[in-house]
Chain A
């Protein structure tokens, strides 16, 4: 494996890992706050129990996220020092602001988590608000840096390749920023919602059909089902934005090899670089022209409009894009069923098939998340900074990346295994405590 491939593999696995926990770091505070708010409003103890259980679980996922986030801040420099040297002076600011946001989140998480006994109910609830806002702010800043890599603005290159006229604010609010931000934020909320719902669906499938599981499932599913339709809209806005700013990326996502008037949308299939067709793809006439330009007769640029050395990997990008679209649309189903059944057929919500569907929705939401991330990141290849700096010119000149990649891969596996183990243990301990308490009630202790 070349040093470049080792660096890409290490960065890729770090990001794929971190995105799971960062997404929970954004979404969990919101569901926590909803549960605690319901407790304060209704006085029902089941909501307090949910909030306390979630805050403990969140402490574990936040800890893992903090660790993997620290790894990324190091890896930016360790693996891509030449990228950072170029970009740091232009887009470093959102990273610094993210540092603050993360700091605030860590502080209020500590207050929230360790403060159940030390703070008044009100003060404790209020500590949850900066927790939510700082998570949203972190997303804002990190996505700003990422979207700048797609649509770099806020500087000029003079004829010697030196950077001049730096405008950090313009760099931060680059053209891709707003659509990418909302798409990522909503993805985080949807994933968290489905993750929570899946946990309680699993419990109910095992026969634990009590108020605690029902309410936990309801909060998770409500968050996911309310946000997901909005998420589909932001997805559409992104497609328009990418058409304008990164036409080659759009063409690769859609498997569109040739510039086409009234372009069809090709779903599924495997792009074939030799025949320049999508093997086994299903074409929906005019749809791509409509999605990209709101007009069935619009011409959409194909990959052939761009030099081949700048092409991303069409198979990977188109496949990831298909997965995102298919799974993302499929995830609408549980929400729609719940909406219909809520008043008219409440029994459906306890049905094993529905619970099974919800259980699958948890992992499916994260598959969708990873697929979306692969789409945008692989779609930018071979560029680290679109049309400015190639990935191979960003990698470190130091050697010996591969052994460290091996070491850190083992670390990630261990983090996953132990993290999952501890979360499962936590749940079974809660049940054991509950069983003891119930036995005491029965025997009148």
Chain B
């Protein structure tokens, strides 16, 4: 039987990968959302600031989704199969979003002499920046609410779109979009100067309001839709994280208001991590609520040992490389043009 410590470690790396994806790619998605909703007198400048912030790091930011997928199918293959069959439609939509987004971003960056084409790529980029996090958040909501069901023959039933667009998944989808927009705006306040900074500060407050609204609505809806989840969130082991999340949300609001932008960035990241780990804690021990636990879905001990060792060894190479990347491009010398020309 599979060793529970190994399963715990594998589950930890899965949620850690998801956290990295949420923070790094989340901010990128948010950047795209703000391009879609760019308004006011400095629209063009806002767009340029978003592109400059994303350019060198977006590719690395989005590799985290591949990390999450490989952890899922290596360490929890039967859960991977269940999610892929059950959420076939939504996952195809997510995939389409990721593809359109990545391709439009690269194409737009290299089509600077064709404004019309650039405009269309920009539109593809920002619309898929909105749809993808929505579908991701809604898929997470559907899994948490127990929408995936076994077919009784050892397989799983694909969930129909009508079930996907229930209030609870829709709210978690909107929550995901707001979190991305909130992260992006907060990060951008630290990477721009006034008056652009003021624009992004205002956007951070708007998105923060959305996070508070949909977060609260989600908690309320979960009482009926996802009773086990809401029990853990409101009365059980995830309660401390919910409380900390609330405190961080208020703190982030106050800090952004006072203009301590670097601190605001850290608080925003902490908030996103608390939301994700709160979800993880509330859903534990289920990976597919309420039919499949992490333990039941896990690979053999032999596989998990080798796999976790590889993750450790990989991290030894990856973490310094990633640190170097961010130091070179997000460090203290923003004045040097990091243009690829």
Interface residue? A108 (CB, 8 A): yes
CB distance from A268 to the nearest CB of B (A): 39
B50-95 CB contacts (< 8 Å) to partner A: 55-57, 59-60, 62-63, 65-67, 69-71, 73-75, 77-78, 80-86, 88-89, 91-92, 94-95
A110-B60, A397-B85, A422-B107 known; A70 vs B66 contact (CB < 8 Å): yes
Q: Which B residues are in CB contact (< 8 Å) with A426? A: 110
Interface residue? A340 (CB, 8 A): no
Q: Which A residues are in CB contact (< 8 Å) with B302? A: 166-168
A77-B84, A425-B113 known; A130 vs B74 contact (CB < 8 Å): no
Inter-chain contact B318/A100, CB cutoff 8 Å: yes
Interface size on B, residues (CB 8 A): 72
Specify which of A56, A109, A114, A115 is in contact with B55 (CB 8 Å cutoff). A114
Inter-chain contact B340/A77, CB cutoff 8 Å: no
* Chain A residue nearest to B298 in the complex (CB): A89
Specify which of B69, B82, B324 is in contact with A74 (CB 8 Å cutoff). B69
* Chain A residue nearest to B65 in the complex (CB): A70
A84-101 CB contacts (< 8 Å) to partner B: 84-90, 92-93, 95-100
Q: Which A residues are in CB contact (< 8 Å) with B303? A: 89-90, 92-93, 166, 168
Interface residue? B111 (CB, 8 A): yes
Q: What is the CA–CA distance of A56 and B55 in the complex, to the nearest angstrom?
A: 13
B78-126 CB contacts (< 8 Å) to partner A: 78, 80-86, 88-89, 91-92, 94-96, 98-100, 102-103, 105-107, 110-111, 113-114
Inter-chain contact B95/A71, CB cutoff 8 Å: yes
Q: Which B residues are in CB contact (< 8 Å) with A85? A: 77-78, 80-81
Q: What is the CA–CA distance of A419 and B103 in the complex, to the nearest angstrom?
A: 9
Inter-chain contact B318/A104, CB cutoff 8 Å: yes
Inter-chain contact B107/A418, CB cutoff 8 Å: yes
CB distance from B292 to the nearest CB of A (A): 12
Inter-chain contact B110/A60, CB cutoff 8 Å: yes
* Chain A residue nearest to B159 in the complex (CB): A398
Interface residue? B194 (CB, 8 A): no
Max chain B Cβ within 10 angstroms of own Cβ: one of A95, A117, A418: A418
Q: Digit string of A53-87 for contact with B (CB within 8 Å is 1, else 0)? A: 00110011011101111110111111001101111
Q: What is the CA–CA distance of A95 and B74 in the complex, to the nearest angstrom?
A: 8
CB distance from B134 to the nearest CB of A (A): 17
Say which one of B180-188, B212-220, B263-271, B304-312 lies at the interface with A. B304-312
Q: Which A residues are in CB contact (< 8 Å) with B107? A: 60, 418-419, 422
Interface residue? A106 (CB, 8 A): yes
Q: Which B residues are in CB contact (< 8 Å) with A306? A: none
Interface of A is mostly: helix
Interface residue? A415 (CB, 8 A): yes
Q: What is the CA–CA distance of A116 and B341 in the complex, to the nearest angstrom?
A: 9
Inter-chain contact B339/A109, CB cutoff 8 Å: no
* Chain A residue nearest to B320 in the complex (CB): A107
Q: What is the CA–CA distance of A317 and B114 in the complex, to the nearest angstrom?
A: 44
Q: What is the CA–CA distance of A64 and B109 in the complex, to the nearest angstrom?
A: 13
Interface residue? B328 (CB, 8 A): yes
Q: Which A residues are in CB contact (< 8 Å) with B314? A: 96-97, 100
A89-B300, A96-B310 known; A102 vs B63 contact (CB < 8 Å): yes
Specify which of A104, A110, A117, A411 is in contact with B317 (CB 8 Å cutoff). A104
Say which one of A180-188, A256-264, A345-353, A399-407 lies at the interface with B. A399-407
Q: Digit string of B223-246 for contact with A (CB within 8 Å is 1, else 0)? A: 000000000000000000000000
Interface residue? A237 (CB, 8 A): no
* Chain A residue nearest to B112 in the complex (CB): A429
Q: What is the CA–CA distance of A85 and B84 in the complex, to the nearest angstrom?
A: 10
Inter-chain contact A92/B70, CB cutoff 8 Å: yes
A55-B340, A166-B303, A398-B85 known; A63 vs B106 contact (CB < 8 Å): yes
Interface residue? B166 (CB, 8 A): no
Q: What is the CA–CA distance of A414 and B114 in the complex, to the nearest angstrom?
A: 17
Q: Which A residues are in CB contact (< 8 Å) with B111? A: 422, 425
Interface residue? A38 (CB, 8 A): no
Inter-chain contact B103/A64, CB cutoff 8 Å: yes
Q: What is the CA–CA distance of A109 and B325 in the complex, to the nearest angstrom?
A: 10
Q: What is the CA–CA distance of A59 and B300 in the complex, to the nearest angstrom?
A: 39
Ordered nearest first, which 8 A-B pairs have the shortest CB separation?
Answer: A92-B74, A88-B77, A63-B106, A398-B88, A77-B84, A89-B299, A85-B81, A100-B314
Instruction: Supply 19 A–B pairs (Cβ within 8 Å), ascending by A.
Output: A59-B340, A66-B63, A74-B94, A81-B81, A89-B77, A89-B300, A93-B306, A96-B310, A96-B314, A106-B63, A107-B60, A107-B318, A110-B56, A166-B302, A168-B302, A408-B96, A411-B99, A411-B103, A425-B111
B residues apposed to A, CB below 8 Å: 55-57, 59-60, 62-63, 65-67, 69-71, 73-75, 77-78, 80-86, 88-89, 91-92, 94-96, 98-100, 102-103, 105-107, 110-111, 113-114, 151, 155-156, 158, 299-300, 302-303, 306-307, 310-311, 314, 317-318, 321-322, 324-325, 328-329, 333, 336-341
A residues apposed to B, CB below 8 Å: 55-56, 59-60, 62-64, 66-71, 73-78, 81-82, 84-90, 92-93, 95-100, 102-104, 106-111, 113-119, 130, 163, 166-169, 396-400, 404, 407-408, 411, 414-415, 418-419, 422, 425-426, 429
Q: A74-B98, A88-B73, A397-B151 are in contact. List 14 more A-B contacts (CB 8 A).
A: A75-B95, A77-B91, A78-B88, A82-B155, A84-B77, A88-B74, A93-B310, A99-B67, A102-B66, A104-B321, A107-B325, A114-B55, A130-B321, A408-B99
